[in-house]
Amino acid sequence: MGNIEIKESEIDIRAEEKRLYEEYKKKLLELRKVQKEKEAVGQVFTKGLLPLYALFILSLGETNGNDISHKIGERTNGLWVPSTGGIYPLLKRLEKEKLIVGEWCNSKKAQKIYKITDVGKRQLENKKYLLQDKIEEALEVFKIIYNDLYK
């Protein structure tokens, strides 16, 4: 009789282990989904708006990559301060696309100063025009969602 009780308790333990493992996998999947959603929201800014806004900042005057990040932070009251780790690859890409030009400055500290090109100015105006309706729609959606959730 003793062996039968042990086997039944082993079966119960295995069943509980399996249930807990399935629960763990489900929770992990949920966490990954939340992380992907957070990344997607962040990408709206970094992939969608950052190139456009960086061109806008450069349309105000030439500057370096750190300063672009700082100026975006100032203009958004600190709500959005892009990392320089995201700014510099973007500047390199914009340079390849001939939208900006970077020149090394021979000041006390070596830094690359970027300025927008005529092609970049046209691109900025074109993208501003193309994205205006989408940005206005997004603002409306955010207002509705905000009011539904918090008011």
Q: 77 near 103, Cβ under 8 Å?
A: no
Domain range list for the chain: 2-150
Has residue 58 got a pLDDT over 90? yes
Q: Which long-range contacts (CB under 8 A, 24 or more apart) does 131-138 make?
A: 131/48, 131/52, 138/44
What are residue 116's phi and psi, to 5 degrees? Answer: -80, 145
Has residue 11 got a pLDDT over 70? yes
Separation of alpha carbons 68 and 57, rounded Å: 7
**Least confident stretch, 88-92, 121-125, 131-135:** 131-135
pTM beyond 0.75: the answer is: no
Has residue 91 got a pLDDT over 90? yes
Mean pLDDT, to the nearest integer, of 107-114?
Answer: 83
Residue-wise pLDDT for 12-39, tens only, equals 888 888 889 898 888 888 888 767 665 5
Q: Which fold has domain 2-150?
A: Arc Repressor Mutant, subunit A (1.10.10)
